[in-house]
């Protein structure tokens, strides 16, 4: 389970990207369905748009006797859903945030390469752009989650435990408003559901009975590690705003926010973002940011230390309570004006400055 500090760190990591991101001027999205039909009919209609997301990334493994961690390639699996005819797929940010390679598998076995074009780890939503869309695959529509009521029936399609195109049915159990915190997600509108969710469902769609996407699976709350009827999905309106209307930039960076006693341990003046992992070829990698090398346990958390610690962005300290909003706005302004952002980074005990231009 992700915890508050990790996800807040991802929020800040998300805004440090130094690459431009392009969306089609007028992408073609699915038309609103005219009739709902039975559950089996709706499932047959939307199932082809649900995809399996397979990732590969470098992780640091601890090997006895080795002076530092050894990089190993690890495969991951998640779910996603096609929402436009030009190849946009919505998924969970934690599925693809630090992936070196992303492949999307459609029903029938067609595999298409994809790249991350938007990601907001705070809300745990991300957007992929496919190289192509297989023939005869129709996208599904992002619905209006504001119209959803507690008690409405809903169903989830995804890849639980690697078993693709699995349907689970339940209800919207509760609506969790922004600024409520559940498993570390802050300022994120969520639906709680009793539809079964397991590992591999992450990033998959929750549908209403008309076949419209009303949420994206993010996580479960579980004692046993399996489904216990406490699943959470990010609402479709939240995903639409963060990925389409005000698209967040993907950084390819995963970090951990150091505050309080941990900041003191790392000899930081107030707070900093400990860089954990950096995706190969990502904006963070092009900035020259370095990930961690040594794995240590801090309470229930596993941290990678030895990497960079980001102190400030364009002179805005990460310790400030409104840092996310200020830096995000600065980034958007810089991208629009082809400006440059500056990072203040602690590396090997010394303060370094990194800079990168941002195109429109």
Residues annotated as catalytic are: 94, 124, 202
Helix (H) or strand (E) holding 348: none
Q: Which residues pair with 353 in a beta bridge?
A: 344
The CA distance from 182 to 190, in Å, is 9
Other C-beta atoms closer than 10 Å to the C-beta of 195 total 23
The CA distance from 307 to 237, in Å, is 36
**Distances in Å between the alpha carbon of 275 and those of 10, 20, 225, 292, 306?**
10, 21, 27, 6, 9
Alpha helices in the chain (DSSP H): 4-14, 39-46, 93-96, 236-240, 260-265, 283-287, 323-336
The CA distance from 217 to 201, in Å, is 7
Closest by CA to 274, choosing from 240, 301, 300, is: 301
Packing angle, helices 323-336 and 4-14, rounded to 10: 20
Listed in sequence order, the residues at least 6 apart from 7 whose beta carbon sits closer than 8 Å to its beta carbon are 121, 122, 124, 184, 185, 186
The CA distance from 116 to 101, in Å, is 9
Three-state SS at 41? helix
């Amino acid at each position: 389970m992700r915890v508050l500090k990790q996800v807040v760190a991802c929020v800040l990591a998300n805004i440090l990207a130094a690459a431009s991101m392009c969306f089609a001027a007028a992408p073609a999205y699915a038309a609103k369905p005219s009739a709902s039909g039975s559950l089996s009919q709706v499932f047959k209609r939307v199932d082809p748009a649900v995809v399996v997301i397979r990732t590969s990334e470098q992780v640091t493994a601890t090997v006895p006797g080795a002076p530092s961690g050894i990089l190993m390639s690890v495969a991951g699996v998640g779910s996603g859903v096609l929402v436009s005819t030009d190849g946009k797929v919505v998924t969970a940010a934690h599925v693809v945030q630090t992936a070196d390679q992303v492949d999307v598998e459609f029903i029938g076995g067609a595999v298409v390469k994809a790249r991350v074009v938007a990601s907001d780890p705070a809300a745990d939503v991300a957007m992929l752009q496919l190289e192509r869309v297989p023939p005869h695959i129709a996208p599904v529509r992002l619905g209006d989650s504001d119209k959803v009521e507690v008690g409405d029936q809903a169903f989830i399609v995804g890849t639980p435990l690697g078993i693709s195109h699995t349907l689970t049915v339940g209800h919207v159990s509760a609506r969790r408003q922004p600024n409520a915190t559940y498993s570390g997600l802050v300022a994120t509108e969520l639906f709680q559901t009793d539809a079964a969710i397991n590992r591999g469902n992450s990033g998959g769609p929750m549908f209403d009975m008309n076949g419209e996407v009303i949420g994206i699976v993010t996580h479960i709350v579980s004692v046993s590690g399996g489904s216990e009827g406490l699943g959470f999905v990010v609402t479709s309106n939240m995903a639409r705003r963060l990925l389409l209307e005000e698209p967040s930039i993907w950084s390819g960076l995963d970090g951990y926010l150091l505050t309080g006693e941990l900041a003191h341990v790392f000899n930081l003046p107030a707070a900093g973002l400990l860089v954990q992992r950096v995706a190969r070829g990502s904006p963070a990698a092009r900035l020259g940011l370095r990930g961690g090398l040594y794995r240590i346990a801090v309470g229930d958390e596993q941290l990678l230390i030895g990497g960079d610690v980001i102190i400030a962005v364009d002179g805005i300290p990460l310790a400030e309570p409104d840092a996310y909003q200020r830096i995000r706005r600065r980034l958007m302004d810089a991208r629009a004006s082809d400006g440059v952002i500056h990072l203040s980074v602690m590396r090997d005990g010394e303060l370094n400055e990194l800079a990168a231009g941002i195109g429109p």
